[in-house]
Amino acid sequence: MHRVLGDRRAIMILLGPALLVYTLIMLVPTVWSLGYSFTKGNSIDGFTGNGLANFTRLFSDQAVHDALWFTVKYAVLVTVGQVIAGYLLALLYVFFLKKASALIRTLVFFPVVLPTVAVGLLFQKFFQVAPQTGPVNSLLNTFGLESVDFFGSAGSAFWVLVSMDIWRSMGFYAVLLFAGLVDIPDEVLESARLDGASGPRLIRHIVLPLSLPVLMSSLIFSINGTLKVFDSVVALTNGGPGTGTTPLTLYMFQTSFTYSEYGYGSTIALLLTVVCLLVSLAVYRVSRRDITEG
């Protein structure tokens, strides 16, 4: 094995095709898109140089500020929600349901395999007020409360979106974290129990520190996914009402493909890339420090 991996040609043959494909479908478009950031025009009229105009516009564009704020707000809330709900579920599987958790695990995981569009439609019907009153509004009416047009204002539509995405993906994080929790040696837990640690203390001082690496991985996974949210927003609200639930990704898509401003769209994409990179770096640094301390 060592001889094979020591041979440069062998490495090239093994890595070459994958690298070539990666370069062609990832790196080339990324660099290409970066190039577009300095242009204006579209596929009909052609592209011309635009200097740094797209970047100055990016800083003064209120729609970008709103979309960025929405993205950050959404990413933080959904990440925290997904990971906490997933962790609580994982604890439930390991410490309470134990071997009987298989059925619950499958049921909670089920929304993960559903297409996002189907989940979006489901939640639309669930929270709708017209043409038919949805189950949530029916419930409110039963308690004598007025129906709420959840998709009529940006605030309520945001909360429906957040709850939908937490519900949709908590099963995935529960399974991921469950795998981390079952890795904790029984002897460690047993000795902690003998020392008198139980319930919340056991979780706080033993389970949490030992499952920190997988918890951090979940956080990185989740924050990167939620910063790039697109499909669930399109399926549920399509960015509305107005632009009330428009994240950066959707604004970038609309700018490029609906308004044909490919140059400015690429600049927004660059902003999103930088945000993702910074957040990943920050989370990675924090996690590395914690692990070494733990």
Binding site for another protein (CB under 8 A): 9, 20, 24, 42-45, 124, 128-131, 147, 149, 151-154, 239-244, 254, 257-260
Q: Are 157 and 237 in contact (CB under 8 A)?
A: yes
CB of 194 to another protein, least distance (A): 59
Compare residues 101 and 128 and give the one whose CB is closer to another protein: 128
CB of 151 to another protein, least distance (A): 6
Per the CB < 8 A criterion, the answer to whether 262 and 47 are in contact is yes
Closer by beta carbon to another protein, 86 or else 244: 244
Residues 162, 74 contacting (CB under 8 angstroms)? yes
> Is the CB of 44 or the CB of 103 nearer to another protein?
44
Name the token pair of 87.
């962790």
**In angstroms, what is the minimal distance from the CB of 252 to another protein?**
14
Decide: 158 and 245 in contact? Cβ < 8 Å: yes
Give the shortest CB-131-to-another protein separation in angstroms. 5
Minimum distance of another protein from residue 257's CB (angstroms): 4
Shortest distance, position 212 Cβ to another protein, whole Å: 43
Closer Cβ to another protein, 147 or 287, answer by number: 147
**Helix/strand/coil for 85:** helix
Nearer to another protein, 46 or 185 (CB): 46
Listed as own residue / partner, the contacts of 273-277 with beta carbons closer than 8 Å and 24 or more positions apart are 273/30, 275/68, 275/71, 275/72, 275/227, 275/248, 276/224, 276/227, 276/228
Which residues on adjacent β-strands are paired with residue 41? Answer: 47
Give the residue among 248, 245, 290, 285 at the shortest CA–CA distance from 267.
Answer: 248
Q: Choose between 148 and 184: whose C-beta lies nearer to another protein.
A: 148
Closer residue to another protein (CB): 152 or 225: 152
In whole angstroms, how close is the CB of 63 to another protein at the nearest point?
9
Q: How many Cβ atoms from other residues are within 10 Å of residue 98's Cβ?
A: 9
Q: Is residue 218 within 8 Å of residue 85, measured between CB atoms?
A: no
* Residues 235-274: b if buried by 16+ CB within 10 A, e if exposed: bbbebeeebbbbbbbbbbbbbbeeeebbbbbbbbbbbbee
